Amino acid sequence: MPSNSKLSTASHPAIRFEQVPIVEGSLHRMNELRSSVLSGVKRQTLKDFENGKLDLLLGEALYAEKSRLKHEKATLFTRHRKATDQEVWAQIQSGLLSPAAVVDRRKLLSQVISHYGDEIGGHFDPRVYWFATRSVPWFFSWLLNAASVQRFLPWGMTQSLESRLTILGEVPALQKLAQKGTVLLVPTHQSNIDSVLIGYIIYLMRLPPFAYGAGLNLFSNPILNFFMGNLGAYTVDRRKTNPIYKQTLKHYSAELLERNIHSIFFPGGGRSRSGAIESRLKLGLLGTGLDAQLANLKSGRPNPNVYVVPMVMSYHFVLEAGSLIEDYLVDAGKHRFLKSRDESSQLSQVAGFFWKLFSSQTGITVRVGRALDIFGNFVDDEGRSIGPNGTQIDPRAWLTSGGELKADQQRDQEYTRELGDKISERFHRENTVLTSHLVAFSFFETLRRRYPDLDLFRFLRLSLPQRSIPWPEFLEQAERDHSRLRQMADRGQLYLSNDLLNRTTEEWVRDGIRHLGLMHEAEVVRTDGSAVWTEDMTLLYYYRNRLTGYGISLLADSFDKDSARMLAGRERARDFDANGFLA
């Protein structure tokens, strides 16, 4: 049964951060392990291309890398990296121009893999960790105090403290499983804030630090570079799509998991652009969980199991909502949607986010989901895979083919695909609906009902008077949607926040309106007591999308399906690339 245990008040950052001892984890041995990880990566990746046509493989990678380097503008901080890249690829080029008898192609490949491995490889410095874990809560509580004093009287403080960061769900199970095997944490991904927040949540849960992949672009900032580089982050460069890079990255992640280093992947790839909970996942990195467990089983290591733990983050507002939804609409609508803004996430905006977070009595809700095995079966507290009808699944048996424990690429991809489906299903079920989500959804749907014949893109361009509805009509719809969600919550299909569970319709609606997209310049939903309107249709659409995928929208789902179909064709092709590797 999914438990609803909330972390005690004592676990809140402002109260607890000084009392927590450093938890030693495998990541602390990262620096000792680094060379063995990298040589493992090299060995495994070379093996993948054992029978390939190396000239072709290297030639294609060289072509792609040269064109990437040509278009890349180096900054002060990335100049060095670019120069090294150019040097390496120039060597590869001259190598490829010599006959294979003179320059061994395997040597060239091995040089490329080492180069990528060095770029990807993370570090870990316990001193930096010590500093960061103490300064982050300090920073948080500084913001908290500085911000709240302005707006609230001191006696409001205790209550607001608790409402900021709510960690729900299977925390004790996760803590237990982290001792029994390797944890692969798979959170939903909406915002660049996620990485920082998750790192902090892990710390709050008294878990050892986790390794995680972060976009190479984030490492361009020298401050972030210093912290992330020393906190177990390894780099992921989405621009590099050649098979050598992809396999190197996969093996890097698998090698970490094999060494019992807990890791975080965002299985949706990047941030959710539509605002919806991820339903199509990137299976490539996810599959490294299975690879690692299989390797562990074969070599007879203790604690061989990898546990996949979904985690769902619920925000009232997402810093980058505007640019994310525009990207999404441009992609789905092509010529039908005209892009109007291009915002980027500056450091000042990140600070602004935290300022708003702490000054507005708003909060972030995080739910740790039930743990899964690498096939998507539930796992009990003891780390055993649960099968149907009271059976227990032996992962070894599922990885045995023809009487032998071994890898089988197609079989393992299929298992991973099913794991992906399960994670996406769990994301929806472990989601905590906040007041603002339901306000956005109900308002959008009520409005949509008035213009059933417009396509989405025309609908999003309604004029201001057209996007206003009477307050009572809106309240009525909100109440109906609420009771529907309540039934779904009773059936375990999602969770409702305490505000949605305990407050009257008028109260939660007003709370939702107040919190919805608080960070944006335009107010997403406004009311003057007699009418409700929106100042920004695309933002409204973004926040409303949080409740898609549940089959509760009558009218609007028809165009959800349209845009989903448009995207699906492309995304499906992306599951596997031409070389049969999971993308």
Partner 1 sequence: MPTDFWRKSKVAVIGGGSWGTVLAQLVSVNCNDVRIWVREEERARSINSQRMNPDYVQELRLNPHVKAYVELERVLDGGVDGVIWALPSKATRAESRRIARLMSGTEFLWHATKGIEEGSLKRMTEVLREELPIRRIGVISGPNLATEIARGEPAATVVASDFQEVIRAGQELLNTPKFRVYSSTDVVGIEWAGTLKNILAIASGALDGMGLGWNARSMLISRGLAEMVRFGVAMGGQEGTFLGLAGVGDLLATCSSPLSRNYRVGSGLAKGQTLARILEELGSTAEGVQTARIVAHHARERNIYMPITQAVDTLLSGGVTVQSLMSSLMARPPMPDRALS
In whole angstroms, the minimum distance from the beta carbon of 391 to partner 1 comes to: 4
How far is Cα 17 from Cα 14, in angstroms, rounded to an integer?
Answer: 6
Residue 490 burial by Cβ neighbours in a 10 Å radius (0-12, 13-18, 19+):
exposed
Residue closer to partner 1 (CB basis): 357 or 419: 419
Enumerate binding residues for partner 1 (CB under 8 A): 375, 387-394, 397-398, 400-404, 408, 410-411, 414-415, 418
How far is Cα 316 from Cα 511, in angstroms, rounded to an integer?
Answer: 10
Cβ neighbours of residue 394 closer than 8 Å, sequence gap 6 or more: 385
Residue closer to partner 1 (CB basis): 415 or 444: 415
In whole angstroms, the minimum distance from the beta carbon of 397 to partner 1 comes to: 3
Residue closer to partner 1 (CB basis): 403 or 529: 403
Residue closer to partner 1 (CB basis): 346 or 389: 389
In whole angstroms, the minimum distance from the beta carbon of 51 to partner 1 comes to: 19
In whole angstroms, the minimum distance from the beta carbon of 176 to partner 1 comes to: 23
In whole angstroms, the minimum distance from the beta carbon of 372 to partner 1 comes to: 14
How far is Cα 523 from Cα 168, in angstroms, rounded to an integer?
Answer: 29
Displacement of CA 196 from its chain's centroid (Å): 12
Show the 3-state SS of 506-571. HHHHHHHHHHCCCCCCCCCCEECCCEEECCCHHHHHHHHHHHCCCCCCCCCHHHHHHHHHHHHHHH
Q: With residue 138 as reference, give the H or E element that holds it.
A: helix 126-151
Residue closer to partner 1 (CB basis): 404 or 490: 404
In whole angstroms, the minimum distance from the beta carbon of 297 to partner 1 comes to: 13
In whole angstroms, the minimum distance from the beta carbon of 570 to partner 1 comes to: 19
Relative orientation angle of helices 537-544 and 321-333, to the nearest 10 degrees: 90
Establish how many alpha carbons lie within 13 A of residue 483's alpha carbon, considering only the half-sphere containing its beta carbon. Answer: 5
- Dihedral of CA atoms 203, 272, 367, 516 in degrees, nearest 10, equals 100
CA distances 254 to 7, 57, 90, 139, Å, are: 31, 23, 30, 34
Question: Is residue 315 a contact partner of residue 517, using CB atoms and an 8 Å limit?
Answer: no
In whole angstroms, the minimum distance from the beta carbon of 414 to partner 1 comes to: 5
Residue closer to partner 1 (CB basis): 144 or 419: 419
Closest CA to 135 of 313, 13, 11: 13
In whole angstroms, the minimum distance from the beta carbon of 572 to partner 1 comes to: 13
Cβ neighbours of residue 230 closer than 8 Å, sequence gap 6 or more: 123, 124, 125, 128, 129
Q: Which segments within 283-351 are labelled E, that is strand?
A: 306-315
In whole angstroms, the minimum distance from the beta carbon of 393 to partner 1 comes to: 5
Residue closer to partner 1 (CB basis): 391 or 530: 391
Residue closer to partner 1 (CB basis): 16 or 298: 298
Residue closer to partner 1 (CB basis): 22 or 407: 407
Question: Is residue 147 a contact partner of residue 352, using CB atoms and an 8 Å limit?
Answer: no
Residue closer to partner 1 (CB basis): 55 or 394: 394
In whole angstroms, the minimum distance from the beta carbon of 311 to partner 1 comes to: 25
Residue closer to partner 1 (CB basis): 227 or 415: 415
- Helix runs in 338-470, H state only: 347-359, 395-398, 409-429, 435-450, 456-459
